Structure 1
Amino acid sequence: MREVDAALKHLEEWNAPVTVAKPSLLDADKDEIMLIKEPLGAVLVISPWNFPLLASMPSVAALTAGNTVVLKLSEYSSTFSSVFAGLVSEYFAKKLFAAVEGAIPEVTALLAERFDHIMYTGNPTVARVIMAAAAKNLTPVTLELGGKNPVLVEPDADIEDAAKKIIVSKMLNSGQICVSSDYVSAFL
């Protein structure tokens, strides 16, 4: 929960107006240019099953930026989803932060609603469905679709140590993690 503590600690600082540099074509002696941070509005966060708490943290960012949040929890981590949804409903006003449990029908219903931003962590197939739904309202979308993570083994590396770390990286959380090693390039 350090993310929540850090967000609360820096909330005022992160949301404060910022003076920005002026392009040279503007009169330098006149008004300042200020960056004013404003909430987007209603944000939908769709989180995956493999790290249900950690992958729900975009909700913290959206809330600290002043947005309302609907968090769609994964049906594949139902125990966590049930407990977390209960905590959200107990400690937050539903108009501020709501947690939704369910599967495809619930996501489909949520995507039929108008949001001001959608954040999704998952696979490219579902991301395409989300993008198509978001396009109807020109809703901005942030996607985290995993990565193809290389491991580079340098000539002076301890091969046994490198091999152990590569295996741990690949097997962490049964390999269901977006930063697991996908391929190795060894320069031996």
Structure 2
Amino acid sequence: MTPDFTFERAAEAQGYSRIAGVDEVGRGPLAGPVTAAAVVLDPENIPEGLNDSKKLTKKARTRLYDEIMQVADVSIAHATVEEIDEHNILRASHIAMVRALEGLKTPPDYALIDGNMIPRGLALPSQTIVKGDSLSQSISAASIMAKICRDCVMLSLAQQHPGYGWETNMGYGSKKHMDALQKLGATPHHRRSFKPVHNILYQE
């Protein structure tokens, strides 16, 4: 199963013309922001090979990132660790999604959103699609953009905070990351509301 333009065509049939795909990455990591992307593709110029970013090689993701940037309206946004801890990861993901939509050069008139929940406060007509990054080309494009951008953030943070392995685990709770948490403690970029971090910070 590969994503296609069926959902976008259905929205066009309802009279919408600027349809944005929206996806986020980084719900599961113990550190770093959650990142969302919104992408409005040109129906006449869709890059070949779009798919869920998790199903693509790093080389394919990088190629598609460059191609999407050239032919689409792209916006990438984050919700910070502080916002994740203040609200919760789901709400923070939705905040990032709304920010990404608001950051597009030309406002969209419809949004296709990966998942099963429309973000609170989103006034735009929209539709949720479970596993949308495998079904909608616009959402798969957004998943690629968000993944590449968040990985770049984590690579930068890994240079500032060596030892946690963020350059490879991207903030997820790998053994190296968990061992470093025990040994080095938490950085300002750790999500204190996440149980593994909380337990280490506040252990007896």
Tell me, yes or no, whether TM beats 0.5: no
Q: Which has the larger radius of gyration?
A: 1
How high is the TM-score relative to the length of structure 1?
0.29
Identify the structure with the greater helix proportion: 2
Q: Which has the higher contact order (CA 8 A, sep 6+)?
A: 2
Identify the structure with the greater strand proportion: 1
How high is the TM-score relative to the length of structure 2?
0.28
